[in-house]
Each structure stands twice: as structure tokens, then as C-alpha cells.
Chain A
């Protein structure tokens, strides 16, 4: 990647970091907290996604 494009990409990511910082703080401080069983309900489909991506990798190899 040319230096100019690298600098542009870095500037865009830094802008995103600044943009997301207030949302990050708000969700950390005031966001709803998980109740019993909530994480289990979320991790189940995410584990399925991991398994599916591994399956796709095996398909293209």
C-alpha cells in the first residue's frame, strides 16, 4: 500500500475511534447488564458461527 493510502486509512480509523468512544463509554456505564443465562444464549449462536466458518475454510482448501 502506498504511504498516502496508509496515512488515509490510519486517519479514518483514528476518526472512527474518536466517533465510537462516547458510545463505548455510554454502553459501559449505562448499558443493560446481562442476567443469568443471557451469555449462554449469546455464546451458543456465536459458537455456531465459528464452527460454520471452520467448515467453509475446509470447503475451500
Chain B
């Protein structure tokens, strides 16, 4: 009897995990689509580049102080659309800058395709792997702290080599976060699909921006 109970409990846990995973990917697809719409709107309105910084700071404040409080309710869905919409709007102003470069459309397309391949490859790997990547948490958070300090220094020193190194480090850390976040959903450690979507969305967004910067610098445009 106890064995039957354990099997039923385990099956229920798997179903719950699959539900979180499915909802996360559905919401992720919807928020990425919404970001693309707001990015196109921003490009159509020819927003200046400082809009990116304002949007990122605004989205960050909402993500830190408002989203965690609303994530357990339906308001959380609206909040994540607001945050990702703002990030997309900011991204549009950066894309306008890249489109003005001689090889700009090619760089954007390569960064977009590259981000999609990295995300799909890593998510697939994390879902298929037997390894629980939550052990990477300490390393990833330590890495982020180091990157933030380097970013802080680079705001005032503006060194291209440091920018390149930071972008490379962000791609590696965000790749690690995709493994980490996907693994946490798979193992049932993350049960809130809104927060799970937010984490994976930020990883994708940061990989895209960093890849755009690396390809922009390395293409000599």
C-alpha cells in the first residue's frame, strides 16, 4: 500500500513538473513574441539609444520589486508582459543603431539565429541530461557578481576589450543559467512558471544583446 501511495505521489509530482514546464515555454514564447512587437514599434518610432538604458532600468526595478509579489496571481502574467514589453521596446532602439551599419541586418540575423540555437540546444540538453545542474548556483551567482563589478568599472573607463570580455562572460553565465533554470523546473524545485519564464527570458535577452555586441565589434563595422 505504501509503495502504491509513493508511486501515485511520484506520478503526481511528474505531472505537476510537466505542467510548469509546458506553461513556462508557452509564456516564454508569448513574451518573446510580444517583445518582438514592441521592438518593431520602437524601431518604427526611431527611439534614441538612451531609451534602452531607461527601459532596462525600469524593467529591472519591476522585476526585482513588483514581479515576485505578483507572481502567485494572475497579475503576474500582466506584469511579465509589461517587463518583457519594456525590454523589447528598449531593444528596438539598439536594433535601429545596428541596422544603420553596413552589415547591420546580417549581424542582427546572425545574433538572433545564434541565440535561438544556443537556447534550444542548452534547454534540450538540460531536459535530456540525468545531471541536476542546480549545483551550478553558487558558481553562477559568484560569476554574476564579478561581471557586475566589471560592468560598473567599464561604465567610466569604456574599454572596448573589457566590453568584449564582459559580453563573452555574460554569454557563458547566461548559458549556465539556462541549464540551471531548466534543471530546476525539471526537478520540481521551481514551481512558479511566471518566475521560471522571467529567468529564462532574461538569459535569452542577455545572450542576444551580448552576441550582438560581440558580432558588431568583431565584424569591423
Contacts and interface: CB of A to CB of B under 8 A. Distances in A.
Contacts of B106: 60
B131 interface: yes
B161 interface: no
B135 interface: yes
Contacts of A31: 134-135, 137-138
A9 B156 CA distance: 10
B148 A57 contact: no
B175 interface: yes
Interface residues of chain A: helix, strand, loop or mixed (majority): helix
B37 interface: no
B53 A5 contact: yes
A57 B53 contact: no
Interface string B29-64: 000000000000000000000100110110010001
Interface string B154-196: 0110100000000010011001100100000000000000000
A53 B50 contact: no
A42 B133 contact: yes
Interface stretch (B13-21, B75-83, B85-93, B121-129): B121-129
A40 B97 CA distance: 40
A23 B149 CA distance: 16
B214 A24 contact: no
Sort chain B's interface into a size bin: 35 or more
A10 to B, nearest CB: 5
A13 B152 contact: yes
A49 B156 CA distance: 30
A53 B70 CA distance: 37
9 contacts: A9-B57, A13-B155, A20-B144, A27-B137, A38-B132, A56-B211, A57-B214, A57-B215, A59-B110
Interface of A: 1-2, 5-6, 8-10, 12-17, 19-21, 23-24, 27-28, 31-35, 37-38, 41-42, 45-46, 48-50, 52-53, 56-57, 59-61
> What 8 pairs across the A-B complex have the smallest Cβ distances?
A27-B137, A41-B131, A24-B141, A60-B219, A34-B135, A31-B137, A27-B138, A31-B138
